[in-house]
Amino acid sequence: MRTYDNILDLIGHTPLLKLRTGIPPDGPRAYVKLEFFNPTGSVKDRMTLHIIKKAMAEGRLKAGDTVIDNTSGNTGSALAMVAKLMGLKAILTTPEKTSKEKIDLIKSYGAELIITPEVPHDDPRSFYAVARRLAKEKGYFDLDQYDSQDNVESHYLSTGPEIWEDTDGQITHFVCGIGTGGTFSGAARFLKEKNHKIKAIAVDPEGSMFTDYIRYRKETAGHPYKVEGIGSDVMTGAMHPDVVDEIITVSDKDSFHRARLIAREEGISAGGSSGTVAYAMEQAARDLGPESLMVGIFADSGIKYLSKCYSDDWMRRQGFMPQEEVAR
Ligand SMILES: Cc1ncc(COP(=O)(O)O)c(C=O)c1O
């Protein structure tokens, strides 16, 4: 029999699948790591389990305690699920732009959810500030994914080694969106330690501050954007600029159209930020031949965005599709 006792045992070991869209036939070998195979449908299951397990093992957290964090949705469902199974209570804060599907998923695991206005990080009403304040005032355990080095460590210990092993060490280019930066920083550091020639390419939405920070070490004010889960308006502790070789910036429109195209052409239903990564992979692939092997991270599932970038109505309302266009 091949059976499992606990859904937590199913976190990680996600598959690498060939990506064709945007990759020329004489270009690099390109694969995407499908993180929607994790139990709550995103890459966030990995770091949530790692942070909670480590804190419990070190006695910083015990059954019955309350854990809090701010989330663009995916950490919320991961924390809600992991907390329940570890005997903890979970409270999440999330901004208004978070998709209904992700909000409902968090609630379905029994967590408490606080929806906050779409304001900058340092505004006391922001999803970030509310989580920090409640943690301090009530003594909750703060998962603090944006600054947690255990977030980075979880990808150094799982995502990076899986990519290395599944490509038999042949990977030459790693392409990954940056939200907290944990996935990128942890996996890229592991891969570069294995082979210092591997190029780590970070992917950022237009409007996020990471691009200017990484290129010029300048903290410029960004502007709001629609893609969920990646980009930031402040530098994060989980983002390690020293492991970045290149950063590619992608617009909302290109991200969403690419995600939709990949679903139709290749049957891979992934989230908007996976469209961002796939679009960046096309840019990066231009100068590369078949001797190169590129791996991109698809952080979550398109099923979480049926009311957003997979809805023609929503795309038109945002101005990403002309009014008269009917997408099949
Ligand atoms: C949809 C999506 N893509 C990408 C990421 C980026 O992952 P990380 O926070 O490890 O940088 C996240 C994180 O929230 C996400 O939710």
Whether 7-40+149-317 shares its CATH topology with 44-142 is answered yes
- Using one digit for the tens of pLDDT, what is the confidence trace for 260-314? 999 999 999 999 999 999 999 999 999 999 999 999 999 999 999 999 999 999 9
In the chain, pLDDT over 90 holds for what percent of residues?
92
As a whole number of angstroms, the distance between CA 93 and CA 130 comes to 7
> In sequence order, what are the residues at sequence separation of 6 or more whose Cβ sits closer than 8 angstroms to the Cβ of residue 9?
none
Residue 221: per-residue pLDDT: 87
Which amino acid type is present at position 204?
Answer: D
Residue 62: per-residue pLDDT: 97
Does residue 325 have a pLDDT over 90?
no
Decide: 271 and 300 in contact? Cβ < 8 Å.
Answer: yes
Q: Pick the catalytic residue from 18, 33, 44, 97.
A: 44
> In sequence order, what are the residues at sequence separation of 6 or more whose Cβ sits closer than 8 angstroms to the Cβ of residue 136?
none
The third-level CATH classification (topology) of the domain covering 7-40+149-317 is Rossmann fold (3.40.50)
Tell me the pTM: 0.95
The third-level CATH classification (topology) of the domain covering 44-142 is Rossmann fold (3.40.50)
The answer, yes or no, to whether any atom of ligand 1 lies below 6 A from the CB of 72, is yes
- Using one digit for the tens of pLDDT, what is the confidence trace for 73-87? 899 999 999 999 999
Does residue 122 have a pLDDT over 90?
no
- The ranges assigned to domains in the chain are 7-40+149-317, 44-142
To test ligand 1's pocket by mutation, which of 252, 273, 297, 303 has the most ligand atoms within 8 angstroms of CB?
273
CA dihedral 229, 232, 237, 239 (to 10 degrees): 70
Does residue 72 have a pLDDT over 90?
no
Does residue 46 have a pLDDT over 60?
yes
**What is the Å distance from ligand 1's center to 44 Cα?**
7
